[in-house]
Chain A
């Protein structure tokens, strides 16, 4: 009956629309989990083990229990237990005030027997154990290398980094009889009640999770975590609500990380730049669970290739999904190695990448080609590119590029929609808005479908009492909620047309909803205002539920993006300065151009951050994280990002694919593009991210290329 599809003519979709929750965020009125205050609420605090590997030999909770104001104490380890990473939780407690809770933690008596630890994943040969990961061989790598004119080798390393959510992980838990309500800083509103219920041994129907606003997740907030479960238990024990948010050092240390990757790569290249063979081995760690397996080589599926990955467990809390899991690491290794191969042949990497595009996903090849053309034009690449290391003086400029891909098909989602007789439109989804613009996108779909404005509709999300939607991970949210909402809205509109058609002496199929009116498409003079039309419903609202997946082709998967970077590097100080970055990104049908661009800007900036500053530096002696605050775990600041340009691919062949998520793709390439730009500027590869001044100077010292030395002499100040 109803043909579910995205409209041909779009009034709102793809335009710039201010995010609807902007005003409550800029005024401080938006209530985050950290801001929730409940009557009688207690504050939780945690005793954490300071050692990377230790056995508990004494645990005395008595002094904490005896302090006034302490209402509940729960040990999650006992004497004899082994602790496997620093800052793991040992005791949870709740007290009347936060300061009092910290006093109580300090009062606990505890001793440890310190055990040997291992935290240096790069030195895998010294690891107590390693586990082989995926190994893949395609074609005949030996034959490919035999055909190569040059063999180019390289070594590359990208460290573990943190999510560093500004709102730390945490929950407020409150029981009303056997009903639990959690206010949780979560990326998965609909998935949390079941997880709480399973751990607590209560029916899933007795748990409700609320998250209207979340201060960052980036892949690290899909579970209640032990601290959430224990907050619920403390609340039960004390008979009062408990708030437990992680301290900053714990947020950085135990709330997840992006696994490291170290890789040795060898590439065979023909004179014309065709890659004839690829061989690599990589290893890395995200903590005790080891690491994921980065898809190396990335984007380019060379026909003759071999890759093996080894996972290295360390005495570090486990890794979690970090925007585009495994892709930034694979992208950095692959694009840096390819850039080094191009440099060895004296080729412009833009030509080199284009020469090898035939080895990328055939569906994406035309997208990459067009994006490379646009990026070239915006950056002035072909006008301004120079050979690696060419330049004069101590300040050297360089260009680098990278390409990336991601899936991003819309997840499962249900949208419950009501069109009220008074004209009100109300959608409920158990989804969440991470700051990506989920609320706004849902409103755009409703308003577009009904011919209304985005402020004429009400979007309710962030509550597990609403119909379930998937967690916001893997760039799946916009596709999922847009599709479920569109189906519900098309159903509701069809029903409204049936009610209204007799009043317009028309057939329902002849009607359309445009500019706040329901009208006969062929004769717009026969029309009713939206409210006149909905008044025909009498006293009963229209209800419709849309599902994703569902009928009609509203979603697709697989996007491509290109990024180019320009840097200036000071050969004397080693300081890298980002001058410009250009991002050209495809995401199928752009829903809100403004928030879509914001995702890409954000990806570029987070990428600059991990390319130049971020690293979870572990102390090999104590096994502890040395970077436990913003002074030592550095992220990019306002003045560090240079000029950023974003171009979203729209129209043409992109729009009919429907919306594809955008949270992951733009954060994949910046590390590679910036590393390549630095190599182009200074003449040598800085093998590691982040490219700190020391690493830049080390790379310069190791290299003794004529070009660099000559340039220095010729330059001067």
Chain B
């Protein structure tokens, strides 16, 4: 890897640059195609080729995050997660695996959960992006957040925002999931401290029987 340093003169995002940028998971690709099928915004059309290839340098982008408009100049390889955390100061979404497995960066795009580490920022334009910060504040918790506190469904707390977003999205679609539905809904999130018993309680399974 270390000797693979040649910078070719071409403009554009090569597959290697793209992968090296640290994003690129199956989910990201899925979301991209889904997004393009739907309401494509100008930059997405540009990325798709109508206006030619953009990058690798920074390009202007516009986002709707937690109900507010944001603009930034970002390299096309920058992930939505890194844009949220480093450019917009929204650090509730955590970077853990950075490859679409652990769920610590779970956000919603137009109401559907997505791994922010596996969506390029440039792809997230045109979506209504919601992060954990949109749900509630420490002073005014969202009911799901309050349930996490009451059931102590957290320890170190690093996975917790991702679980909160995933659980809130699950419960908004299905207010009383069966244990199997809950397990399916949260299959995309990992916790290391072992807070699943508390989260079971949040999802109405009785959970902690201490």
What 1/0 flags go to B98-129 for Cβ under 8 Å of A? 11011010000000000000000000000000
Known: A19-B152, A28-B161. A601 touches B197 (CB 8 A): yes
Known: A26-B145, A166-B104, A597-B208. A602 touches B193 (CB 8 A): yes
A176 interface hit (Cβ, 8 Å): no
A469 interface hit (Cβ, 8 Å): no
Chain B residues positioned under 8 Å from A97 (CB to CB): 75
B43 interface hit (Cβ, 8 Å): no
Q: Say how far B66's CB is from chain A's closest CB, in angstroms.
A: 11
A641 interface hit (Cβ, 8 Å): yes
* Cα A216 to Cα B135 with chains together (Å): 24
Determine if B152 and A594 form an interchain contact, defined as CB atoms under 8 angstroms apart.
yes
Q: Say how far B87's CB is from chain A's closest CB, in angstroms.
A: 10
Determine if A29 and B138 form an interchain contact, defined as CB atoms under 8 angstroms apart.
yes
A23 interface hit (Cβ, 8 Å): yes
Determine if A23 and B156 form an interchain contact, defined as CB atoms under 8 angstroms apart.
no
A301 interface hit (Cβ, 8 Å): no
A507 interface hit (Cβ, 8 Å): no
B44 interface hit (Cβ, 8 Å): no
Determine if B91 and A638 form an interchain contact, defined as CB atoms under 8 angstroms apart.
no
Determine if B157 and A165 form an interchain contact, defined as CB atoms under 8 angstroms apart.
no
* Cα A594 to Cα B154 with chains together (Å): 11
The listed residue (A23, A25, A218, A629) touching B101 by CB distance below 8 A is A629
Chain A residues positioned under 8 Å from B98 (CB to CB): 247-248
Determine if B135 and A434 form an interchain contact, defined as CB atoms under 8 angstroms apart.
no
What 1/0 flags go to A617-648 for Cβ under 8 Å of B? 00000000000011100011111010111111
Tell me which of B2-10, B30-38, B46-54 binds A: B2-10
Known: A34-B94, A594-B152, A635-B192. A25 touches B99 (CB 8 A): no
Q: Is the interface of B mostly helix, strand, loop or mixed?
A: loop
A31 interface hit (Cβ, 8 Å): yes
Known: A165-B192, A646-B210. A102 touches B22 (CB 8 A): yes
A651 interface hit (Cβ, 8 Å): no
The listed residue (B20, B78, B138) touching A106 by CB distance below 8 A is B20
B96 interface hit (Cβ, 8 Å): yes
Determine if B92 and A435 form an interchain contact, defined as CB atoms under 8 angstroms apart.
no
Chain A residues positioned under 8 Å from B65 (CB to CB): none
**B193 nearest CB neighbor, chain A only:** A602
Q: Say how far A673's CB is from chain B's closest CB, in angstroms.
A: 15
* Cα A168 to Cα B184 with chains together (Å): 27
A63 interface hit (Cβ, 8 Å): yes
Q: Say how far B24's CB is from chain A's closest CB, in angstroms.
A: 13
Among B135, B157, B195, B197, the one with the most A-chain Cβ atoms within 10 Å of its Cβ is B157
* Cα A636 to Cα B193 with chains together (Å): 11
Determine if B132 and A28 form an interchain contact, defined as CB atoms under 8 angstroms apart.
yes
* Cα A646 to Cα B196 with chains together (Å): 14
- B159-203 contacts to A, CB under 8 A, are 159-161, 164, 182-184, 186-187, 189-200
The listed residue (A63, A99, A215) touching B157 by CB distance below 8 A is A215
* Cα A586 to Cα B138 with chains together (Å): 33
Determine if B91 and A35 form an interchain contact, defined as CB atoms under 8 angstroms apart.
yes
Chain B residues positioned under 8 Å from A604 (CB to CB): 194
B72 interface hit (Cβ, 8 Å): no
Determine if A598 and B199 form an interchain contact, defined as CB atoms under 8 angstroms apart.
no
* Cα A24 to Cα B92 with chains together (Å): 10
* Cα A603 to Cα B94 with chains together (Å): 23
Q: Say how far B96's CB is from chain A's closest CB, in angstroms.
A: 5
Determine if B145 and A23 form an interchain contact, defined as CB atoms under 8 angstroms apart.
yes
Determine if A110 and B194 form an interchain contact, defined as CB atoms under 8 angstroms apart.
no
How many residues belonging to A are interface residues under a CB distance threshold of 8 Å?
Answer: 76
Determine if A167 and B91 form an interchain contact, defined as CB atoms under 8 angstroms apart.
no
Among B2, B135, B141, the one with the most A-chain Cβ atoms within 10 Å of its Cβ is B2
Chain B residues positioned under 8 Å from A639 (CB to CB): 183-184, 186-187
Q: Say how far B39's CB is from chain A's closest CB, in angstroms.
A: 28
* Cα A19 to Cα B141 with chains together (Å): 15
Known: A32-B158, A99-B21, A598-B155. A23 touches B141 (CB 8 A): yes
Chain A residues positioned under 8 Å from B200 (CB to CB): 638
Chain B residues positioned under 8 Å from A609 (CB to CB): 194
Determine if A436 and B155 form an interchain contact, defined as CB atoms under 8 angstroms apart.
yes
Determine if A595 and B21 form an interchain contact, defined as CB atoms under 8 angstroms apart.
no
What 1/0 flags go to A369-388 for Cβ under 8 Å of B? 00000000000000000000
The listed residue (B138, B158, B196) touching A605 by CB distance below 8 A is B196
**B136 nearest CB neighbor, chain A only:** A27
* Cα A330 to Cα B121 with chains together (Å): 49
Chain A residues positioned under 8 Å from B94 (CB to CB): 32, 34, 166-167, 215
The listed residue (B2, B182, B196, B208) touching A108 by CB distance below 8 A is B2
A528 interface hit (Cβ, 8 Å): no
Chain B residues positioned under 8 Å from A599 (CB to CB): 155
Determine if B96 and A63 form an interchain contact, defined as CB atoms under 8 angstroms apart.
no
Known: A435-B193, A601-B208. A629 touches B5 (CB 8 A): no
18 contacts between A and B (CB under 8 A): A26-B164, A27-B133, A28-B161, A32-B91, A98-B86, A102-B22, A106-B1, A109-B5, A167-B156, A167-B158, A214-B156, A248-B96, A601-B210, A629-B97, A630-B99, A631-B101, A641-B196, A644-B208
Shortest beta-carbon contacts, A-B, top 7: A28-B92, A605-B194, A215-B158, A639-B183, A602-B194, A25-B157, A435-B156
Contacts from B to A (Cβ < 8 Å): 1-5, 20-22, 75, 77-78, 82, 85-86, 89-99, 101-102, 104, 131-133, 135-139, 141, 145, 148-150, 152, 154-161, 164, 182-184, 186-187, 189-200, 208-210
